[in-house]
Chain A
């Protein structure tokens, strides 16, 4: 395990790289879902308004 974390002495390059990798992957997923979620919420609200206006 020690050796694995040590990465043959290159730990301070490899781990930040993988950290950034996970960050970018996570951001992409979060950002896409957020766009979808916000748009859906707005659409729902608009449908609500539409229905209450029709009554």
Chain B
């Protein structure tokens, strides 16, 4: 079947290297445009929120960062599973590549959430359900990267961290649920309102653009990082030697 041959081609390192190399500009340029448009729209064009004033503009970084941190984790877990089950090294490479990206955006989500929290709730940190589960997600990323670096052998690092990623992915909904439940018991009068359908288009559109831009940026970054991984993992392969002398 045509789709399977495509998939098998993609899983082959030399093909992936070439195709990913071509895809990078197709991801990176729209990403740059969308992010620029989204952030400009959010920072300059969108009207100030009637309750939070201009402080709400942090949302244009905070929400896309949080969204990306979750998406990276899902990608990490799924590609780890694929790598473990079908023994595709590239899949493991994608998991490894996604971790630092996801961790940095989790940190950004936490930091921007904190900076948003001060004008909103009067404090830099609060055990709000979302902040807390994001913090635990950040810990999970750190644990994953720590486990990876504890192994010298790449295959063992791949497979051990894949097990960890999968265990973590079962736990992520549990963590989210438990923290939400725990926090709802302490919920005071302030509730972090999420910009949803209640948001006017002028505020929502830049947000969606920024989120889409971040996602495409991740795709570009993943391509770059996995190509780097391929070069390291395949260092003894003949196709690579030919590439190096090209």
Contact = CB atoms under 8 A, between A and B. Distances in A.
Q: Do A and B bind each other?
A: yes
Interface of A: 4, 7-10, 13-14, 16-18, 20-21, 24-25, 27-29, 31-33, 35-36, 38-40, 42-44, 46-48, 50-51
B61 A36 contact: no
A36 B228 contact: yes
A28 B102 CA distance: 10
B225 A14 contact: no
Contacts of B199: none
Given A39-B231, A40-B231, A8 B112 contact: no
Interface size class on chain B is 35 or more
26 contacts: A7-B57, A8-B48, A13-B55, A13-B58, A14-B54, A14-B58, A17-B58, A17-B61, A17-B112, A17-B115, A18-B43, A21-B39, A24-B65, A24-B107, A28-B221, A32-B101, A32-B228, A35-B228, A38-B228, A39-B229, A39-B231, A39-B232, A42-B231, A42-B235, A43-B240, A43-B244
Contacts of B62: 17
A35 B224 contact: yes
A48 B241 CA distance: 9
A40 B230 CA distance: 10
Interface in B227-246: 227-229, 231-232, 235, 240-245
B8 to A, nearest CB: 24
B61 A31 contact: no
Identify whether the interface residues of A are mostly helix, strand, loop, or mixed. Answer: helix
B53 A32 contact: no
Interface of B: 35, 39, 43-44, 48, 53-55, 57-58, 61-62, 65, 100-101, 104-105, 107-108, 111-112, 115-116, 118-119, 217, 221, 224-225, 227-229, 231-232, 235, 240-245
A24 to B, nearest CB: 4
A10 B100 contact: no
B89 to A, nearest CB: 15
A20 B35 CA distance: 15
Nearest to A10: B55
